[in-house]
Amino acid sequence: MRGVAAIILGSNTYNPKIMSKSVLYTRVSSLDQKTDRQRVKEHEFDKVIEDKCSGKIPIFERAEGSKLKLMIDRKLIDSIYVWQIDRCGRDLRDIINFIHYTAERKIPVKFISQGLITLDENGNENPIAKMVISILGVVAEMTRIQILENQKQGIELAKMDPNKYLGRKPGSVEDPIKFLTKKKNKQALELLKNGYKNIEVAKITGLHVNTITKIKRHF
């Protein structure tokens, strides 16, 4: 698919120097992950915006993604570069909404690794890119659903063996240290320490607001 897109769109499509206000957007799912692989020739862009949150959060509702939207609305951006489509989201509707929002404002989104550009040089929608993006968006969504299904099946299988399933028994009190060292809880704690509000942390981590409140009590 990548090769077909590259042939259709041409080999000279990836050139951030064409635009004077180009932004590279990157995303990873957790605080301990790095975006190095996505930062291709980052010195050639005017700005790099990085989110560390779940892909299920719509891009404009993310901590840094909201700043990207603000820059778009203020007409401070001419083009947006993203390493690949699933960095924008793992829900097809969210991806399409993002593409539509930028297209309406004549801002091309360029997916580097997949060789796709949403608009042509005249600012018109690229129908081939639109089709391929829709297909890859479906793949990203199916991947997310499969991951959730695998997790669910894993828990159900573990419950069948009481020696393996580590779920907390009803009425028991969870150890605070174990609670705070859980991956998402640890991420939430770091965000709270950095001044993020409960609702912002909930959106970034995917945790319930009640869980965020509980975490906040421990620091």
The model's pLDDT over 142-158, given as tens digits with 9 standing for 90+, comes to: 776 676 677 666 666 66
pLDDT at 173: 59
Which pTM was predicted?
0.58
Chain segment 167-206, per-residue pLDDT in tens: 555 555 566 777 777 888 888 888 887 778 888 888 888 8
- 39 Cβ partners below 8 Å, 6+ apart? 24, 26, 48
Number of other residues whose CB lies within 10 A of the CB of residue 5: 21
Greater pLDDT, 174 or 131: 131
Residue predicted with more confidence, 69 or 217: 69
Q: How far apart are CA 48 and CA 39, in angstroms?
A: 8
Q: For residues 30 and 63, give the distance between their C-alpha atoms in angstroms, rounded to a whole number.
A: 13
Residue 105's pLDDT is 94
Residue 105: CB atoms within 10 A of its CB come to: 12
First to last CA, the chain: 49
